[in-house]
Amino acid sequence: MDEHQAAAARVVRGRNRIRVGDLGEGTDVRAHIQDVALDLFIEEGYDKTSLREIAEKLGVTKAALYYHFPTKEDIVRSLIDQRMAAIEQLLEWAQTQPRDERMRLEFVRRYATVHDLMPNERVIRFFERNQTLINTMPAGKQMRAQMERVFDLLIDPAEPVAQQLRRAMAIFSIHASWFILRERGATPEQRREAALEVALDLMSGAAQVAAELIEPGLIAALLREHLERETHSEEVDAGRG
């Protein structure tokens, strides 16, 4: 029995809702539903997966699942909403900072952290395989609009087009690291470090006066800080386990 099956076996039916039995305090039922549904969407395909199949995988009735997510699209919407909320907080932070090269570099570092904290690999795989669905959903359009705000923050329209593209590619490199390095033997730590290093290199390379604006050793310091935070988060998670 895998971990999803074991967890599902402990989910019990309630009146119009799903209760979690012995999963422990603080268990997020909605997150568990998202996790199971995402597996089915990836394995079977979104169009071929029904709410009934998701409910069966969870070991609950369709009515109990309906209490939390009336439709499959609501599940997808919830995944997009989580990501958008995290990025929105980051954008709000950026608005309080001087719009200079240091802010842009720190924004990219924080963006990489947010990207790693979310269950992005499977979500990205789902998005990869369901572009038509995402493009037609209101939530998908909102996510694209938010990413345009990210690019507006990072890109200086007065710079040459090639430099603007480098800044945009800094964000794309963080996303791309999930599927480009997925089958190439890199550990999660190596992937995270490589993604941030490439992203920061692209950002610093895009600055016309990078040598003057970027303090010596700043990129190395940002990399060290990012990796130290990742190590601390993993130690905390291990302690909770």
What SS3 class is residue 30?
A: helix
What confidence tier does 20 reach under pLDDT thresholds 50, 70, 90? very low
**Residues ≥6 apart with Cβ < 8 Å to 124:** 175, 178, 179
Distance CA 218, CA 225 (A): 10
Average pLDDT, rounded, for the chain: 79
pLDDT in tens, 41-70: 988 889 899 999 999 999 888 888 998 999
Which residue from 192, 93, 197 is spatially nearest to 150, judged by alpha carbons?
Answer: 93
pLDDT in tens, 180-222: 877 788 788 888 899 999 999 998 887 644 444 445 555 566 6
At 16 the pLDDT is: 44
Q: HEC states along 95-123? A: HCCCCCHHHHHHHHHHHHHHHHHCCHHHH
DSSP summary character for residue 215: P
Which residue from 154, 173, 150 is spatially nearest to 105, judged by alpha carbons?
Answer: 154
CATH for the 3-68 domain, from 3.40.50.410, 3.40.50.300, 1.10.240.10, 1.10.10.60: 1.10.10.60
Length of the chain: 241
Domain regions of the chain by residue span: 3-68, 73-240
Kindly list the distances between the CA atom of residue 52 and the CA atoms of 61, 63, 92, 188, 240, in Å, as whole numbers in the listed order: 8, 9, 40, 34, 33
Model pTM? 0.69
Question: Does residue 105 contact residue 201 with C-beta atoms inside 8 Å?
Answer: no
Structure tokens at 137: 């959903």
Res. 117: pLDDT tops 90? no
What SS3 class is residue 12?
A: strand
